[in-house]
């Protein structure tokens, strides 16, 4: 690649006329933000005292200044963006000493989460997986809302996903998902399950979509949670639905604190869950003492992880772990892998150029689920 082709589009623009018309023509002629040759250029147009890029890429300063191009109202910032990256961000527009966070008005790509929505930049070679979208070829599963009494927590309500081909005469594996509603709403879990089952990339399975009203407590190695899931929910579902009851047909899945809930529940009931799917688990630990740099909600997590790290054991058979390279938990997740492998468990680990967010977790579901529960897709020739 020659030096000339490395010149950024914004640099080329700055060499020309800087009239309002030229700015508009420049903006109209590019897909924004501009991604080229491993670099991303963010652009914002308007009057402000300052404009900052706000993002969640661990390792880069979380606020980066956009520079105003002299003679125009166009602001820009270029950063390296490796291929395959996916980055969520906002702009902070500062006027009269007040900062206001907004989504990028030039970028239609959004990622929703429980706190709202962020703009999303896609690096070269990244595209939203087609299996994450609703397709007419994939018959949708059905949902049942279930309310049942729990000694551990009082009455709990959860949603159950039944596969489109559900038959009472068959027996199914059980996938228990922590933060199930969020997985449905922000990680397209329903569409993912519909598609992967329709393509037989995973077998038909029943999915329990659990939620917690107090997840930062209940998911942080809380004995009540493990008891609720294992001694109350699973037996209840096995009584009511045609489930397989071997460990290899039971999977716990969760992201962030939900990952801690999955791992700690499996630790409290070793051998009961033969499959674990852990995404960006908040597996904070300390190498000496129990002090850590995170907030106090991590105290029980650090205690649990330190104990697990001191005496790791084969609590399950297969464990899929994923984490984003751009999240602060990458160190903790990378550190966990050799430890899990040392126990003899079958471990698969996947990193992605993404952050601590639902779409990262969505994008890893196909590999994780199909590795834990291989379907008959290689046998299907329609």
Partner 1 sequence: MSPDKPAYEGTVVLLGPQPRDFSDLAAAVEDLQIDDPIALITAGWQENERHDGAIKEALNQEVINLSLYDRSEEVALQTEDFVAAWGMRQKYLRRLQQFYRLRLDVIDDADNSIAVRHTTTELLEEQLEITVSQLRHLDEDHLARCARRRARFAEEWPIDNLDSLLSHRRQIAEELDKCGAMILAGGHVVALLNRLRLFDVFSNWKERPIIAWSAGAMVLTERIVLFHDSPPFGKNLAQLLDVGFGFCPDLVALPDLSNRVHLDEKAGIGRFARRMAPAHCIGLDQGSRIIYRDGEMVELIDSARLSEAGEVQWGWRP
Cβ proximity to partner 1: between 36 and 348 the closer is 348
Least Å distance, CB 207 to partner 1, is 17
Least Å distance, CB 41 to partner 1, is 32
Least Å distance, CB 364 to partner 1, is 11
Chain centroid offset of residue 193 CA: 16
Cβ proximity to partner 1: between 78 and 195 the closer is 195
Return residues touching partner 1 (CB under 8 A).
165, 167, 196, 200-201, 348, 366-367, 370-371, 376-382
Which residues make Cβ contacts (< 8 Å) with residue 256, sequence separation at least 6? 179, 279, 280, 281, 282, 329, 356
User: Both tokens of residue 326?
Assistant: 């751009």
Least Å distance, CB 131 to partner 1, is 9
Task: Tell me the chain's radius of gyration from C-alpha atoms.
Answer: 23
In residues, how long is the chain? Answer: 382
Least Å distance, CB 192 to partner 1, is 11
Cβ proximity to partner 1: between 113 and 367 the closer is 367
Cβ proximity to partner 1: between 179 and 201 the closer is 201
Cβ proximity to partner 1: between 97 and 136 the closer is 136
Least Å distance, CB 202 to partner 1, is 8
Cβ proximity to partner 1: between 33 and 163 the closer is 163
Query: How far is the C-alpha of 150 from the C-alpha of 81, rounded, in Å?
Result: 48
Query: How far is the C-alpha of 50 from the C-alpha of 98, rounded, in Å?
Result: 10
Cβ proximity to partner 1: between 22 and 337 the closer is 337
Q: Are 193 and 207 contacting, i.e. CB atoms less than 8 angstroms apart?
A: yes
Which residues make Cβ contacts (< 8 Å) with residue 21, sequence separation at least 6? none
Least Å distance, CB 349 to partner 1, is 12
- For residues 125-160, one letter each, b for 16 or more C-beta atoms within 10 angstroms of the residue's C-beta and e for the rest, the string is ebebbebbeeeeebebbeeeebeeebebbeebebbb
Nearest to 146 by CA among 213, 273, 240, 228: 240
């Amino acid at each position: 690649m020659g030096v000339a082709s490395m010149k950024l589009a914004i640099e080329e623009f700055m060499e020309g006329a800087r009239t309002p018309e030229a700015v508009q023509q420049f903006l109209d002629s590019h897909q924004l933000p501009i991604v080229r040759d491993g670099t991303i250029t963010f652009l914002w147009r308007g009057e402000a005292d300052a404009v900052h890029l706000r993002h969640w890429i661990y390792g880069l300063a979380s606020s980066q200044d956009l520079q105003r191009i002299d003679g125009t109202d166009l602001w820009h910032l270029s950063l390296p963006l490796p291929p395959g990256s996916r980055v969520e961000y906002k702009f902070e527009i500062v006027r009269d000493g007040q900062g206001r966070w907004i989504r990028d008005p030039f970028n239609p790509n959004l990622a929703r989460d429980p706190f709202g929505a962020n703009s999303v930049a896609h690096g070269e070679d990244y595209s939203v997986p087609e299996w994450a979208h609703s397709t007419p070829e994939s018959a949708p599963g059905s949902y049942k809302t279930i309310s049942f009494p729990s000694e551990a927590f009082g009455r709990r309500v959860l949603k159950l996903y039944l596969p489109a081909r559900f038959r009472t005469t068959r027996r199914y594996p059980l996938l228990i998902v922590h933060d199930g509603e969020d997985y449905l709403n922000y990680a397209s879990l329903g569409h993912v399950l519909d598609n992967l089952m329709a393509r037989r990339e995973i077998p038909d399975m029943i999915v329990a979509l659990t939620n917690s009203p107090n997840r930062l407590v209940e998911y942080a190695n809380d004995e009540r949670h493990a008891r609720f899931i294992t001694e109350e929910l699973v037996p209840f579902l096995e009584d009511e639905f045609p489930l397989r009851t071997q460990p290899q047909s039971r999977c716990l899945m969760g992201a962030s604190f939900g990952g801690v809930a999955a791992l700690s529940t499996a630790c409290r009931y070793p051998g009961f869950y033969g499959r674990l799917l852990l995404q960006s688990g908040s597996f904070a630990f300390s190498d000496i003492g129990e002090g850590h740099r995170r907030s106090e909600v991590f105290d029980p997590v650090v205690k649990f992880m330190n104990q697990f790290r001191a005496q790791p054991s084969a609590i399950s058979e297969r464990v899929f772990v994923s984490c984003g390279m751009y999240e602060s938990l990458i160190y903790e997740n990378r550190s966990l892998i050799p430890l899990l492998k040392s126990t003899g468990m079958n471990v698969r680990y996947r990193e992605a150029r993404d952050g601590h967010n639902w779409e990262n977790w969505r994008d890893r579901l196909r590999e994780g689920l199909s590795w834990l529960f291989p379907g008959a897709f290689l046998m299907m020739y329609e």
